[in-house]
Structure 1
């Protein structure tokens, strides 16, 4: 998901997306611990997507305070 796609969504949609990605990250970590994880790069992309979403949400908060 790109930053442009993230900016087009509302805050409630972004919160739901974060929850979904956190669940996926948990499952990926569990698979890695068990030894069943095949695509290790997916963990990195999920973490980065969560960070992008949080960055956009912080930008919105700071923009509304000014």
Structure 2
């Protein structure tokens, strides 16, 4: 997911995107804890996506 794609969305869509990413992160953390996660790099990707969404939300709130 690119920041330019996120900037084209409105705050409601970004909120839904953030909620989905947080759920995905929780699911990945549970898989890691139960040793069912095969690709550990997914955690980092989801974390960075969450940071991107929160940054764009913050930018939109400032305008």
Q: Is TM (by shorter chain) over 0.5?
A: yes
Query: TM-score with structure 1 length normalisation?
Result: 0.91
The two structures, once aligned, show a CA RMSD in angstroms of 0.6
1:61 — aligned with what?
61
- CA–CA distance in 2 between the matches of 1:38 and 1:25? 15
- The residue that corresponds to 2:10 in the other structure is 10
Aligned equivalents of 2:21, 2:59: Cα separation in 1: 20
TM-score by length of structure 2 reads: 0.95
Could you give the per-residue CA deviations for residues 8-55 of structure 1, whole angstroms, max 9, x where no partner exists?
Answer: 111111100111111110000000000010111111010101101110
What residue ranges of structure 2 are gaps of 5+ in the alignment? none
Residue 44 of structure 1: aligned partner: 44
Aligned length, in residue pairs: 63
**Structure 1 runs, 4 residues or longer, greater than 6 Å off:** none
Larger radius of gyration: 1
Q: What's the offset of the Cα at 1:6?
A: 0.4
Structure 2 counterpart SS, 1:30? helix
Runs of 5+ unmatched residues, structure 1: none
